[in-house]
Amino acid sequence: MLGVGANRDISVNDLQQPLLSNVNIGPVSSSSRARSKYVCGIFSLLTFSWLSPLVALGHRKPLDLEDVPQLFGIDSVRGSFPILKKKLDLESDDKKLTTTFDLVKALIHTTWKDIIVTAILAVIYTLASYVGPYLIDAFVQFLNTRQDSKHEGYLFILIFFFAKLVESISQRHWFFKLQQGGIRARAALVAMIYQKGLNLSSTGNSHSSGEITNLIAVDAERIGDFGWYIHDPWLVIMQVGLALTILYLNLGFASLAALVSISIVMLANIPLGRLQHTFQDELMKSKDKRMKITSETLRNMRILKLQGWEMKFLSKIMDLRSHETGWLKKFLSTSSTIISIFWVAPTFVAVVTFGTCMLFGIPLQSGKILSAVATFKILQQPIYNLPDTVSMIAQTKVSLDRIASYLCLDNLDSGLVEIFPRGDSDIAIEITNGSFSWDVSSCDPVLKDINIKVAHGIKVAVCGTVGSGKSSLLSCILGEVPKLSGSVKLSGSKAFVAQSPWIQSGKIEEIILFGKDMDRIRYDKVLEACALKKDIQVLPFGDQTFIVDAHTGSHLFKECLLEFLNSKTVIYVTHQVEFLPAADLVLVLKGGRIKQAGRLALDLTKQKLWRKIGLKLSRKEQKDNNSNYWLAWASPVSQGEKPPVGGSTLIIVYISLAFGSTFCIFIRAMCLTTAGYKTANLLFNKMHSCIYHAPMSFFDATPSGRILNRASTDQTAVDLTISNAVGVFVFAVVQILAVIAIMSQISWQVLLVFIPVIAICVWLQQYYVSSARELARLVGVCKAPIIQHFSETLSGLTTIRSFHQQHRFEDMNMKLIDGYSRPKFYSVACIEWLSFRVELLSSVMFGLFLIFLLIVPNGTIDPSIAGLAVTYGLNINILQASAIWKLCSMENSIISVERILQYMSIPEEGPLVVESTRPNHLWPSFGEVEVLNLQVRYAPHLPLVLRGVTCNFHGGTKTGIVGRTGSGKSTLIQALFRMVEPTGGEIFIDEINISSIGLHDLRSRLSIIPQDPPMFHGSVRSNLDPLEHYTDEQIWEALDKCQLGDEVRRKEDKLDSTVSENGENWSMGERQLLCLGRVLLKKTKILVLDEATASMDVSADHTIQQALGQHFSDSTIITIAHRITSVLNGHMVLVLEKGLIQEYDSPLKLLENRSSSFAKLVTEYQYRGRSTSSHGT
């Protein structure tokens, strides 16, 4: 039963609801707050020392979220989101649509201060980084001439060291500010996407939950990460300009050849960038499809296991993954090619430049060559970043397009319903000449010519056949269905109770309060009226009640609707005729129109309406170093000296070494890509296999958002991030060792410095990594609740909007976003804290090396080789910081692998097939079920739910199971399907112990019609026959038997007619009949009805009972009963109470004993209609 209630007041109060019990999103202590960057001096700010207390705390103990300082101002989503929202509304107001360009402008407006500051820092860094290449020639000449005074040498050292210090500080703050701006942008975007989701109309909600999850988990994240690359397009032009200036000063017109070669390298980005864009676009589309079906299967995992379909749906996901990995392989291969080309780009530029010098006779001196090599080395980074930048621009463009497209979807029209204060009118609800359609483009409205007036305080019952528009009528009153014509007026506030209960994650008390202040007296009355006093002790153990039994149903109707809400206007949709006499007004719908309206008692005297209701109601590099070593050794130090080798030999050897380096780089890139690709696939396949083999208890205890986070964010890290990080780390370590080898060849004393510096760097890394790992863990833990909260919000939109709780849910979302942004912010800050210290140590080591060069006696070193060591030493700080940073990055990324590995070690169900005990294909042939001393508990620490049940269900009999909520009815069925394994006792089917055979051999031989009819995105055919076992003729025959054949034939695509996600385009009754069609196709000897007709009307119930009686006459049917009439027609009744059999006999014998529990239940049921009728008169 679902309904709408009209209330007097709307009270919205913010209520914090943590979605994960182990994540505290609340305020932090004042002591923690004092450690933040918002209260520190200039020195602490420059050196990131404001983070030292947090790093020290993380080294002493594992960090919790309350240890992480709060974010303030624009760093918080409450500061950044209003700026983005205001600018976006301003940009798109005239067009009424949000374009990608509008979104870009709004994001720039939100982060413009960060963009300007980082641009200045980038310029300072670039100028400082070219000081070394500019001075290297002069320094080599100084080493060659060796003046008696060393003041000039110390001045060189001072300039080199100061330049490296400025370079380090500016780069670290440049990177930190970029990431800080990215975090702000991401937070504002997620808040924008969530707010849009809260306001989506039915026509605008064309995106599946999986697609929207990707908008948050992938697209918003990628746009935030784009901050790394935002300055690269213009910065590379500046860097090339400076490089060409230095090259011109050293090599003259040969710098033009360098310009041409650099231009060739950059122009190669155009086709490669387009290719990257195409592959990225297709990769995201494939990921969306996979996430959509993954979300759907996780949501319906219980029915998949009951039907034995989980492996079929897993194969669908694997097929989608196979298609996705096809694009992933192309994407990674293209990336490897790009990386290879641009890693060798400096070598290519050097070959062209020096070759031009040789060709035109431009003299090459070691100092000038080393200056050029140092310049090429610096150019390597922007040129190397350029393909990443082009790729990231392409990826970000795709993400921006997707989010802009989502933001363009239609919002719910707030003017569909006119709201008036209660005192302004005696009429609570009025619809005049109303026509409504879920699809505004459709020429066939779902409701037509609706005219009703409902006074305050009366009760209205809505009934009708399956698909007649009952639920749509309530949605019209709530303003959820687009209005084609007419008017809808509502006086006062409203509330809504959905047919399928929507339950949030969180405490039961908070779910019941739903944003209201606690009034203990009223709260206790609500518990009593809703029959939750006894059940409240069961629910904390995970036993949640969706459909209640006959006792509870009567209690709810009397105590809640008729007594507790006696002064309210109530419109309720019901299929149970005994609830109709209590209504002041009964509306009978048929074909989208109100066919009859009036008081049931009056029509009963005419004996017309009762008969119609009773009968018609229905229902998811070393070689690179060698080449430069060769050039340095083979070139003269000064213009007057004779080179050791000829020009042609010089260039030929250099080109050979360059080609060897290129080949090695390409092989390295391809090996990393292949290894990363195979590892990602291996982890994906194993994780999903373990998830789909997990027991149902895993899915009951694990929010689907957490599993989706593994399949999206963590899998993306494994697919794209980790292999690249490994490659960069290994390459950086090799380069560091090569540089140290060259430096130690000149001055062995450098090893005395290098060893302790490396030791300190490793100690710093270990000191830092405890905090980094915990912060990364918090980032992952705090991201899942955002996805979970969004998923819950989308599934409960109608309820949220009917209670006017949008503001509270949006506020909760902002708390969760900040709960994620806090550890993310301090995680990236800690990386800069470490990088700055490592670079400072490396700069000190480089400065000491230069001092060693000065104190070495004249003539003991080769100035050319010394210059080469200085050239490579200029990059030692970057290489060391890169190695340490990538090591930390790998450790943080490995957390994604750890989370995936966690799901690879979850307990598994029993084997799907046990070859040694496989039953024959005719089993079960009799349908005899024998239960012996069955004991079941859901967890070792929980009490027994079934406490020694012994009974026989004879073959071909119809047995009804009745009992209060929590008596063990559903648990008995779970044990029959081995959804939960018995703690003790046994179940035999046709003399075979079900524990000895495979799960699929068991579940595939049983059939069930569940209480909530699950539907999957696809077609009518795929929903009826997902395993593709039956012919079209057999499917049509099943549809005709369940009286849906004509309805499907009327659709244009017949069996291929679309079924949307959750079957939303089919009524609840039609979904239930389609579930009946499934079991008619399967035709097994044992059929379970798990309160399958509880949400159906009398006529549809009659259809199912008739079909079952005709086509399952010789089958064993076990019904968890909601309607007493279903049980009365059976052979046996099993009454359960607190996990024990209270009564088990034929209905007739139990009724003869008027003191039996079953007789009392039937008596109560019979009198229910009379009592409700008396309330209505």
Write out the H or E segment, with its range, that includes residue 595. strand 593-598
**Which pTM does this prediction carry?**
0.66
Q: Given pLDDT bands bounded at 50, 70 and 90, which one contains residue 1101?
A: low
Q: Given pLDDT bands bounded at 50, 70 and 90, which one contains residue 1096?
A: low
Residue 296 has pLDDT above 70, yes or no: yes
- 438-463 tens-digit pLDDT: 777 666 788 888 888 888 888 888 87
* Tokens representing residue 380 in the block: 């390597």
Distance CA 670, CA 983 (A): 53
CA 186, 192, 193, 194 torsion-angle sign: positive
326-348 burial, b if ≥16 CB within 10 A, otherwise e? ebbbbbbbbbbbbbbbbbbbbbb
What is the per-residue pLDDT for 476?
83
Distance CA 188, CA 84 (A): 7
**845 closest CA partner among 808, 809, 881:** 881
What is the per-residue pLDDT for 889?
72
What is the per-residue pLDDT for 24?
46
**Is the Cβ–Cβ distance between 1057 and 1015 less than 8 Å?**
no
Mean pLDDT of 138-144: 77
Q: Return the bridge partners of 572, or none.
A: 3, 461
Sequence-ordered alpha helix ranges (H) in 485-641 = 508-513, 520-529, 550-555, 600-606, 609-616, 622-634
Most confident of 333-337, 878-882, 1090-1094, 1172-1176: 333-337
**Is the Cβ–Cβ distance between 749 and 889 less than 8 Å?**
no
Q: What is the share, in percent, of the chain residues with pLDDT greater than 70? A: 81
- 1059-1070 tens-digit pLDDT: 877 777 777 777
**Is the Cβ–Cβ distance between 975 and 987 less than 8 Å?**
yes
DSSP assignments along 191-216, one per residue: HHHHHHHHHB-TTT--S-HHHHHHII
Distance CA 534, CA 552 (A): 11
What is the per-residue pLDDT for 27?
46
The residues near 805 (Cβ < 8 Å, ≥ 6 apart) are 12, 514, 515
| 3-class DSSP state of 799 | helix
Write out the H or E segment, with its range, that includes residue 987. strand 984-989
| Residues belonging to the chain | 1177
Mean pLDDT of 69-91: 86
Using alpha carbons only, what angle is made at residue 934 by residues 928 and 937, rounded to the nearest 5 degrees?
135
Mean pLDDT of 1000-1018: 83
**Is the Cβ–Cβ distance between 557 and 1150 less than 8 Å?**
no
Residue with more model confidence, 427 or 345: 427
- 541-585 tens-digit pLDDT: 333 333 334 445 555 666 676 666 766 777 777 766 667 777 777
Instruction: Please report how many Cα atoms fall inside a 13 Å half-sphere around the Cα of residue 580, on the Cβ side.
Output: 26
Distance CA 916, CA 321 (A): 33
* Tokens representing residue 720 in the block: 């794209």
Distance CA 656, CA 628 (A): 12
At 148, the amino acid letter reads D
Q: Phi, psi (5° rounding) for residue 498?
A: -80, 155
Q: Given pLDDT bands bounded at 50, 70 and 90, which one contains residue 932?
A: very high
What is the per-residue pLDDT for 4?
54
Most confident of 323-337, 858-872, 1158-1172: 323-337
**Is the Cβ–Cβ distance between 273 and 310 less than 8 Å?**
no
Distance CA 797, CA 805 (A): 10
CA 846, 851, 854, 860 torsion-angle sign: negative
- Radius of gyration of the chain, Cα coordinates, nearest whole angstrom: 36
Q: How many of the other CB atoms lie within 10 Å of CB of 1139?
A: 22
Residue 991 has pLDDT above 70, yes or no: yes
What is the per-residue pLDDT for 123?
94
Q: Given pLDDT bands bounded at 50, 70 and 90, which one contains residue 935?
A: very high
Mean pLDDT of 635-658: 56
Distance CA 90, CA 102 (A): 9
Most confident of 90-104, 347-361, 901-915, 1122-1136: 901-915
Residue with more model confidence, 662 or 453: 453
Distance CA 1102, CA 1089 (A): 14
Question: What is the phi-psi region of residue 919: left when phi exceeds 0, alpha when psi lies from -120 to 50, beta otherwise?
Answer: beta
- What totals of helices (H) and strands (E) does the chain contain, helices first? 44, 22
Q: How many of the other CB atoms lie within 10 Å of CB of 545?
A: 17
Distance CA 441, CA 974 (A): 45
Q: Given pLDDT bands bounded at 50, 70 and 90, which one contains residue 627?
A: low
519-539 burial, b if ≥16 CB within 10 A, otherwise e? eeeeeeeebebbbbeebeeeb
Distance CA 320, CA 620 (A): 12
DSSP assignments along 394-449, one per residue: HHHHHHHHHHHHHHTSPBP-TTSSEEE-GGG-SEEEEEEEEEE-SSTT-SS-SEEE
Residue 17 has pLDDT above 80, yes or no: no
Distance CA 455, CA 425 (A): 9
Q: Peptide bond before 924: cis, by omega within 30 degrees of 0?
A: yes
- 170-181 tens-digit pLDDT: 999 999 999 899
